[in-house]
Amino acid sequence: MLYPGAVAEPPKLDGSDAVPPGLHYQIRDVLRRLPVKGEPPDPLILERLGRVIADGEGWLGAEPALADVGLWMLGAQHDVELRRRGCAWLAMFPTADVMQRVAAVALDAGTPAPVREAAIATLGDRRLGGKHRATLWSADAIHVADEALVRLADAATAAGALASERLPHALRGVQGDAIAAVFARAPGLWGEAIECFSTAPLARVLFVSVDDIPPQHRPRVLRVIAATLGEEAVPLLAARAANAPLDMRLEMLFLAVALGGEAHLPRLEEEVRALKFKELLRERARWHLANKGVVPTVRGLRTARTTATIPAGERAERCGRAADDLAALAKFERYPEAYVYAMWAAMVRASGDPVRARELVAAHPESQHRVRELYLADLAKRGRVRQLTAAAQTLAAADLGALQLAIWGRPIAALELAATARHHTPELACARALACYRAGRADLFERILAEDLPPSELVDDEALRPFPGPHETWLAENAKEAVAVAALVRGGRAVVELAQAAPHDAEPDTPSLEPLAAVTRRLGRGLPGSTVYLAGTFERLDKRAIAAAVEKAGARVVAGPFPGTDYYVHGDHCLVQTIAQLERQGARRLRSGELEGI
């Protein structure tokens, strides 16, 4: 059975100025390879679809018509795995109509469990994450999604058991009297769902029933009780602390200090004076005294859970405040729940603040990958060359790190780092060009911009266009975050204008000219010692003669388009996707006259 209005064939896509041309091509290419009669999709095609969703998350939501693609994938005629990805796709389009369709799937008892779980996750996903900045949940969409989630929660409460792993997490972003009434009927069942939203009546029930909640959820529940009831909770917390285990007792006493002030310090001091980390605990108490009435993790998570419901113009400021809230207590102890760091990182990214990224990484080094662009920018701006180089290698971001070093006045270190990059990206080309200019090699700067630009993004199956192609031109005009692409599209002057003065206390540049010599060798296009791939089919061209010419020139032929291949020879026919892969890996096409037989 199809959803109302569904069709067997995937929707036809027209070009859109709201989405980059290369992304439109990827969507069309994947859609034409998906099955339409319910058979299981090829795993490789599902993987490609997953990449399209991941790569396109920041853009797809800008074109409302693309919701039809997700609605088509959600149709009951499709395989379970395709329907699951349809739910993920529709999370980028939180309109009332879309949520009605997703809710129908989630509430249908005949829906396969994996699809229902994915639908529940979509209904509860009020975070912006990496979605397009125009993404905004309307009041109608929130009402539709909340109504469905409350119905599911009510059924679970009546049954006395959770049949869904995703439902508790989806409910963390839901607020209001209806869900509070459901939680109040069975607090012990919903400990995992209670995080940052509550009503006063629910908070009172939770406090009385806190022993029924699984131990791992109690600290979180206590915090939301305190944040909801305010000073009303102080005598309750102080009275209950006496018989609580140490970790819970400390949390209750800290909350009593946060809400009730200095009067509750002596009781807390009695508990901490014999503990190993008493000074850190005392510092936390001083923070609470200076910020009376604030339960920072609850306040921060309330924003983090609902970022996509906040108007775009207000997000950066509010997310910055939420990042500060989530950072507040991390100065004194690590969060036991790792997901809090993920939420903190999302707030840092939404704020766009490199200093906040530094604070997150200092508290939780494992979060580097979540804020890598901001973190590398902060290190470069402060002249931390060695630390940036190590971080860029760890994060597989040599191109991004090299560009930041070039911008902030360390050109030789930038070229040294660029030599380790695995892909020929716009950031890498821009880094090399700017670094050569700042190192006094304007000749190399001009040659890079003329001869060694990155490959353009594919926009069709016909050919790989010279840089900049339609995709890059679109990014230069529409994506302010595509700094390197825009500079390369606009030319040498725009690249040079990226340069900033190095900070006065920056670490010295790399004391070697070898990185410049490596760029010279690359631009020299020498064959001795290099590797060559013969790409495609050879009918008119003599493949054996070309292979012999490669050996004669001191190079060697490799059997596939492997990373690290220096050059390729384009056969009479070759898939444009293969050529794009080779050039993204840094391989360059051998031109007529550089090798016998071509």
* Statement to judge: residues 317 and 426 lie in one domain: no
* Overall size of the chain counted in residues: 598
- CA-nearest of 161, 160, 197 to 179 is 197
Complete DSSP assignment for 111-154: S-HHHHHHHHHHHH----TTS-TT----HHHHHHHHHHHHHHHH
- Please tell me the predicted confidence (pLDDT) of residue 17: 84
Separation between Cα atoms, residue 391 and residue 38, nearest integer Å: 45
User: Does some domain include residue 159?
Assistant: no
- Please tell me the predicted confidence (pLDDT) of residue 8: 67
Could you give the C-alpha distances from 169 to 66, 166, 173, 196, in angstroms and in order? 27, 6, 8, 12
* Statement to judge: residues 368 and 471 lie in one domain: no
Separation between Cα atoms, residue 598 and residue 596, nearest integer Å: 6
- Please tell me the predicted confidence (pLDDT) of residue 278: 92
- Please tell me the predicted confidence (pLDDT) of residue 6: 47
* Statement to judge: residues 397 and 447 lie in one domain: yes
- CA-nearest of 396, 437, 438 to 417 is 396
Could you give the C-alpha distances from 168 to 125, 165, 181, 287, 299, in angstroms and in order? 12, 7, 15, 32, 19
* Statement to judge: residues 400 and 462 lie in one domain: yes
Q: Which residues contact 592 (CB under 8 A, 6 or more apart)?
A: 598
Which helix (DSSP H) or strand (DSSP E) does residue 73 occupy? helix 67-74
Helix crossing, 177-185 with 139-159: angle to 10°? 10
* Statement to judge: residues 111 and 203 lie in one domain: no
CATH for 580? 3.40.50.10190
* Statement to judge: residues 342 and 444 lie in one domain: no
* Statement to judge: residues 408 and 488 lie in one domain: yes
Among residues 327, 353, 377, the one where a domain terminates is 377
* Statement to judge: residues 367 and 399 lie in one domain: no
User: Which pTM does this prediction carry?
Assistant: 0.93
* Statement to judge: residues 130 and 65 lie in one domain: yes
Both tokens of residue 401? Answer: 């790190």
Q: Is 31 exposed, middle or buried (0-12, 13-18, 19+ CB in 10 A)?
A: buried
Separation between Cα atoms, residue 192 and residue 81, nearest integer Å: 27
Q: What domain range is 392 assigned to?
A: 383-519
The domain total for the chain is 5
Among residues 241, 269, 290, the one where a domain terminates is 290
User: Does some domain include residue 162?
Assistant: no
Could you give the C-alpha distances from 432 to 232, 240, 480, 502, in angstroms and in order? 62, 63, 21, 17
* Statement to judge: residues 500 and 542 lie in one domain: no
Among residues 347, 377, 407, the one where a domain terminates is 377
- Please tell me the predicted confidence (pLDDT) of residue 242: 86
User: Does some domain include residue 10?
Assistant: no
The segments of the chain whose pLDDT lies below 50 read: 1-7
User: Does some domain include residue 205?
Assistant: yes
Rg (CA), the chain: 28
For residue range 235-276, what is the model confidence (pLDDT) as tens digits? 999 988 988 899 899 999 999 999 999 999 999 999 999 898
Both tokens of residue 433? Answer: 């060009």
User: Does some domain include residue 569?
Assistant: yes
User: Does some domain include residue 146?
Assistant: no
Task: Confirm if 99 and 38 have CB atoms less than 8 A apart.
Answer: no
User: Does some domain include residue 333?
Assistant: yes
What is the residue type of 164?
S
Both tokens of residue 252? Answer: 């209750």
For residue range 200-242, what is the model confidence (pLDDT) as tens digits? 999 999 999 999 999 999 999 999 999 999 999 999 999 889 8
- Please tell me the predicted confidence (pLDDT) of residue 2: 40
Q: Which residues contact 185 (CB under 8 A, 6 or more apart)?
A: 157
User: Does some domain include residue 418?
Assistant: yes
* Statement to judge: residues 261 and 276 lie in one domain: yes
* Statement to judge: residues 439 and 345 lie in one domain: no
